[in-house]
Structure 1
């Protein structure tokens, strides 16, 4: 069996800047990845395809895809995209680019206005109920769980699964743990939360990813990312998106912000114009290569272990369309070509139910980041953020424990909401990778500041002030309205 797993995630960006980092990041990913990937899944589902893949959607991304402010912002962004296409068409030599981008933006506007304008949840619920996909959930706000206080870790996971059920009508049985972060004993927390399976990176299972593995004594199975298969598509050094025929992500026309070139040179001034026909031929070539890779891998691993083997390929959803423009076309063709080549395509739930599970294993500290350890989220470069996170969590829990409430208390809710936002794994990742590190540090400290000032007002007995502060911060960070701090009280 072959399982494709996609991980869809962006940090909370609404009301936190626009460009170059902020809401623009959300709208680019939404238009380039989420719209076309969902379209691929819907069309394949209409053709009768079922159990195509396991789709991870983090609660913080799901919140943005349903948020009225974000929906309005995307609609404006799509309209602006079309205006930029018209501008490109009027410039010397820009006719082909303008026509291509006009067609793309018109399609995106039509998709949004007919299917997405009331949020993403109805679309995902439709795919889930039709058994087109399995959905994977996760904890609120995407924390790096191994470094998080166990009490807040359990709360975040339970609330995340509840949030998923509210949006999609089903509580996910599987999760994509943020950053695939793991430390021993977490399997028991998963078991208690009703999680039946989760993803780890291949090295966490010592490279033997041909079967899912129960973890310790818990009734939960870890599925490992098959690196030889996954790295054919995307790796730190190679992969299909780097092919010279594909549209270049990094180089764009400065007058319009549109991407007019293909990957032909490291120098932006020497890149060749994008040619859709060359790109289509490369997609076909890479579909064939991937199918052959999967067939060979499954054949060799089945022979090695003496039973039918499993291969799990896992990627960020944003790779398909946003980072790799041709990715959705490749995805659609692969999902049809694999069954034609005799490969059974299924979900992680199916893999477990059909016995693609081996002997139990003990997993050590791990992630899918650099070095497959915790250095990205706990290394020297982010030691200050690790300390900040610990202080924020301690402050929030102490204030909550000092001021418990039998009734729903919006101040307590906002206190925990801001603490969870402060400890998002995204901030340390962006600093370690030097990707908008200033923005990331600012976000971490801003949420930490919100947590502190609400907590200080509460612990000093200034409850009216604490309530005003909580209301003000909620105007910016009002996601997860069902979050109830009473479920975190001692």
Structure 2
């Protein structure tokens, strides 16, 4: 086989915060039901069709550990069946209403929705055996895609206050992956693509006067746990100066940035880096196995991310915002990016297939152009990495799974570009250059602004003391074999994981579900404080009151996650940096 022009991979990041037992609508369980119905099942079904045709997808599919816990839950399976039945019934009711009003076109759309959700129900029950994770595992076992892991509950690793907290998030992510997929993970999605190198760090809060201490680089925890690569945004590769005005909006960010910048030293070879090359990353002066990075390509990213002039903004596609209640089904098209809801025209599904194929051809031609330019300049094949939130395809952009399937089909007719997973890219290109990366994320401004600002800095005042308390409890009690004490410690760990979810800061900053996020964070904080108190008292007395026993049981049943959590992860840093010992 002739050497290809280059390589391409989609990286799809699948994540939702833990919602089972924490509300239904508008915030809660229906987030999970919608994502499963609109994104996860349609995409896996598309990959399954490719497999039947003897093709591969080259997709790198990230599934966060907390999402995996939810998808594996019997509660989800039961609730999801009810959700699909409700959607089918809503479509039938809409059909009857539209027929009575003489709205023939809308009646046909209602019939489309009935068939759509009936098909999803059949796929979920009959084809997937109600096991979405099992379908992903089967596709991976057949070489169709690669599943990668992430931090336990999508904790924002650069801002977590202790290395034991980062260690626990990573180790739980690896343990959960092994349990669900029966193998060791190779890739890791850093939550929010947020990275911090090794340096002397202090909590970025004005009223927390703590002497800076040496913190390990995020990549060190990945290396220690056998992980081979992670994904970064392109601005980090170019030096990370995209923070712009955002640090000036909030002094805590400025202090954190200045502390990092004063200690950050680029390696001399850190010049003229390209997002189409693979690199290895290390911020440690100590001997360690570097970890590879896949870098997001900004050109292909904008083609899909931008709702204004990217593919999803096409006027023919189904509009996300306008819905018919009470069923919540959608009957209108985008029409134009600036059209008010009242001006949205009726959806015409017969118009979208040609648009998906046309846009797929454009996307593939863009990838060929990028790889051709890179090879012409460097004399070797490059790799284009296209990371997206999985929920963009199907949930936010209804036609997204169809478009993605068309792109993969077009690539199969384009021998110059080879589809690869993340691990395959590293096996084929075998990078040797070790570089350093600055601190940052793929969030607005390229730094931590979304997760640390004057709207949500109070959340870290809840998180940091809880992390310190968990470390102290683990150091004192994690080696005690008492089964009740171990149950208490494990539930403390699970609750701390939920408290650390980066979703809460994101939802507060974006106002998308601010009240819900604030209530969730405060509730997990209160639960942790009470569990920690009970644990301390039990360690002294070896007795548990009936009230405290009921509380432990209630927490364990509601937040039924991570059976393999190990309190020893918080007791000490497994491989401390020199100066931490």
What interval of TM-score do these two structures reach, taking the shorter chain for normalisation?
A: over 0.9
> Residue 559 of structure 2 corresponds to which residue in structure 1?
477
What is the aligned counterpart of 2:159 among 127, 140, 147? 147
Q: Offset at 1:353?
A: 0.6
C-alpha distance in 1 between matches for 2:399 and 2:56: 23
**Per the alignment, in what secondary structure is the counterpart of residue 26 of structure 2?**
coil
**Per the alignment, in what secondary structure is the counterpart of residue 315 of structure 2?**
coil
Structure with greater Cα Rg: 2
C-alpha distance in 2 between matches for 1:306 and 1:124: 37
> Residue 427 of structure 1 corresponds to which residue in structure 2?
504
Asked whether the 8 Å contact 1:415–1:470 carries over to 2, the reply is no
Distance 1:304 1:470, change over 3 A: farther
What is the aligned counterpart of 2:297 among 197, 203, 226? 226
Q: Offset at 1:279?
A: 1.5
Q: Offset at 1:39?
A: 0.3
> Residue 370 of structure 2 corresponds to which residue in structure 1?
297
**Per the alignment, in what secondary structure is the counterpart of residue 464 of structure 1?**
coil
Q: Offset at 1:237?
A: 4.8
Range with greater deviation from structure 2 (462-471 or 226-235): 462-471
What is the aligned counterpart of 2:275 among 209, 214, 222? 209
**Per the alignment, in what secondary structure is the counterpart of residue 254 of structure 1?**
coil
C-alpha distance in 1 between matches for 2:345 and 2:26: 25
Q: Offset at 1:218?
A: 3.8
C-alpha distance in 1 between matches for 2:291 and 2:418: 23
1:341 matched to 2:407: no
C-alpha distance in 2 between matches for 1:73 and 1:189: 36
Asked whether the 8 Å contact 1:215–1:363 carries over to 2, the reply is yes
**Per the alignment, in what secondary structure is the counterpart of residue 455 of structure 2?**
helix
**Per the alignment, in what secondary structure is the counterpart of residue 289 of structure 1?**
helix
CA RMSD of aligned residues (A): 1.6
Q: Over residues 259-286 of structure 1, what are the superposed CA-to-partner deviations in whole Å (9 max), with x where a residue is unaligned?
A: 0000015311111000012211211121
Range with greater deviation from structure 2 (4-13 or 201-210): 201-210
> Residue 54 of structure 1 corresponds to which residue in structure 2?
60
Range with greater deviation from structure 2 (320-329 or 260-269): 260-269
C-alpha distance in 2 between matches for 1:35 and 1:55: 13
Q: How does 1:129-144 map to 2 (within 5 A)?
A: 129-144=141-156
**Per the alignment, in what secondary structure is the counterpart of residue 354 of structure 1?**
helix
1:98 matched to 2:134: no
**Per the alignment, in what secondary structure is the counterpart of residue 21 of structure 1?**
coil
Asked whether the 8 Å contact 1:430–1:440 carries over to 2, the reply is yes
Q: Over residues 9-63 of structure 1, what are the superposed CA-to-partner deviations in whole Å (9 max), with x where a residue is unaligned?
A: 1110111001001001110111010110000111111211235211000001111
> Residue 327 of structure 1 corresponds to which residue in structure 2?
400
Q: Please, which runs of 5 or more residues in structure 2 have no aligned partner?
A: 1-6, 198-216, 239-272, 283-287, 573-581
C-alpha distance in 2 between matches for 1:299 and 1:50: 23
> Residue 83 of structure 1 corresponds to which residue in structure 2?
89
Asked whether the 8 Å contact 1:187–1:218 carries over to 2, the reply is no
Q: TM-score, length-normalised on structure 2?
A: 0.82
Asked whether the 8 Å contact 1:199–1:224 carries over to 2, the reply is yes
Q: Offset at 1:96?
A: 1.0
C-alpha distance in 2 between matches for 1:187 and 1:11: 24
> Residue 223 of structure 2 corresponds to which residue in structure 1?
191
Range with greater deviation from structure 2 (48-57 or 242-251): 48-57
> Residue 386 of structure 1 corresponds to which residue in structure 2?
460
Q: Over residues 111-161 of structure 1, what are the superposed CA-to-partner deviations in whole Å (9 max), with x where a residue is unaligned?
A: 111134442232122111101111111121110011122112112211211
> Residue 488 of structure 1 corresponds to which residue in structure 2?
570
Count residues with an aligned counterpart: 490
C-alpha distance in 1 between matches for 2:442 and 2:279: 17
Range with greater deviation from structure 2 (331-340 or 91-100): 91-100
Q: Please, which runs of 5 or more residues in structure 1 have no aligned partner?
A: none
C-alpha distance in 2 between matches for 1:118 and 1:36: 14
1:63 matched to 2:65: no
Distance 1:416 1:370, change over 3 A: same
Asked whether the 8 Å contact 2:124–2:130 carries over to 1, the reply is no
Asked whether the 8 Å contact 2:475–2:570 carries over to 1, the reply is no
**Per the alignment, in what secondary structure is the counterpart of residue 310 of structure 1?**
strand
C-alpha distance in 1 between matches for 2:343 and 2:516: 31
Q: Offset at 1:255?
A: 3.8
C-alpha distance in 2 between matches for 1:362 and 1:238: 34
Range with greater deviation from structure 2 (8-17 or 462-471): 462-471
Asked whether the 8 Å contact 1:14–1:64 carries over to 2, the reply is yes
Asked whether the 8 Å contact 1:229–1:297 carries over to 2, the reply is no
C-alpha distance in 2 between matches for 1:404 and 1:310: 45
Q: How does 1:350-361 map to 2 (within 5 A)?
A: 350-355=424-429, 357=431, 359-361=433-435
1:169 matched to 2:251: no
> Residue 372 of structure 1 corresponds to which residue in structure 2?
446
Q: Offset at 1:378?
A: 1.7
Q: TM-score, length-normalised on structure 1?
A: 0.97
Asked whether the 8 Å contact 1:56–1:135 carries over to 2, the reply is yes
Distance 1:414 1:135, change over 3 A: same
Distance 1:303 1:467, change over 3 A: farther
> Residue 267 of structure 1 corresponds to which residue in structure 2?
340
Asked whether the 8 Å contact 1:51–1:134 carries over to 2, the reply is no
Asked whether the 8 Å contact 1:143–1:424 carries over to 2, the reply is yes
What is the aligned counterpart of 2:325 among 254, 268, 271? 254
**Per the alignment, in what secondary structure is the counterpart of residue 31 of structure 1?**
helix
C-alpha distance in 1 between matches for 2:327 and 2:224: 52
C-alpha distance in 2 between matches for 1:247 and 1:68: 32
Asked whether the 8 Å contact 1:71–1:117 carries over to 2, the reply is no
> Residue 200 of structure 2 corresponds to which residue in structure 1?
none
